[in-house]
Structure 1
Amino acid sequence: MLGKKRKLGKKINDLQTGEKFTKSFTIEDRDLLIYLGLTDDANPLYIQHDYASQTPFKRPVVPTVMIVGMVSSMISMHLPGAGSHITQQNLQYPKPLYHYAEVRFHLEIVDINKKDHYIQLEVQGYDGEGEEVVKGNLIVQPPYEPDSMNAISLENFY
């Protein structure tokens, strides 16, 4: 990825209220192990079936920060896309997401503030049974329009 140019996402003037994006993910052991290895998080609720079976959850759950990571990925890669930055989030997790589950996320732009250069996104996520596992909103700064190379190279001539 380093040194490779990547097309920027939609700029604020290209976005519209009501614009939507939907994507599904399946939670695999590999994903959980990578997360747990990177964070050194050894919460038995996330990895130990015998422990989780003795809790009200009955089986291991997906860490909520992984759910946030999937939402963040959708914002960074799709709506508004590369160059975006999340500045605020308010998320709730009404039901746990379990290992091997498929989760479907829906993003929708509900407000655009061009003056302060941000959009508000609403997010909802549902498991394979149609039950809500995440809901809330995020404030996101879409990518900024980069300065043109011509403008920079001509600065010495003014």
Structure 2
Amino acid sequence: MLLRKGMKLGKKIDEIIVGEKLLLNEKIEDKDLLLYLGLTNDNNPLYIQHDYAVGTPYKKPIIPAIMLNGIITSAISKHLPGPGSHIREQNILYLEPVYLNETIQLLLEVQHIDLNQNILEIYVNAFKEKNIQVLDGVLKVVPPY
């Protein structure tokens, strides 16, 4: 989606408070995985071949970590802080695999605000069914100017 003239940008740094949160539920389906694979030409058998994946500790194909990053990036771009923001740095641990058609609950929370550098530190984590944590990380985000 292109930013239309007159469309509201996301929150500027002085409109954000420490402790502000965003909670989202996301599900990666076949169409999402196929779009990713087509766009990146990533043909890792761990993502697409059941015959290969069954012989791994995962037992079935897993979602590429970069797709989980895409959900995080989208949440930053759309919601917190929103349109016009930019991720400058990220440190994310992928704790457990996410499988096709699993729903993850993503939580972003503003932990620190650096007014001088115009940077937010946002904590991110995600859980799948049965409250299993799948990722944990910190992002440094420049909100819109």
- AA at the equivalent of 1:79: L
Change (3 A) 1:3 1:60: closer
How many residues are paired up? Answer: 144
Identity of aligned residues (%): 47
Structure 1 unaligned segments of length 5 or more: list them. 145-158
- AA at the equivalent of 2:61: P
Q: What does residue range 47-126 of structure 1 map to in structure 2 within 5 Å?
A: 47-126=48-127
- AA at the equivalent of 2:143: P
SS in 2 for 1:129: helix
SS in 1 for 2:131: coil
Normalising by structure 1, report the TM-score: 0.89
Please state how far the C-alpha of 1:50 moved relative to its aligned partner. Answer: 1.0
Q: Say whether 1:41 aligns with 2:42.
A: yes
Partner Cα separation in structure 2 for residue 119 and residue 88 of structure 1: 10
Structure 2 unaligned segments of length 5 or more: list them. none
Task: Provide the residue aligned with 1:143 in structure 2.
Answer: 144
Runs of 4+ that moved beyond 6 A: none
Partner Cα separation in structure 1 for residue 44 and residue 15 of structure 2: 43
Larger Cα-atom Rg: 1
Determine which structure has the larger strand proportion and give its number. Answer: 2
SS in 1 for 2:37: helix
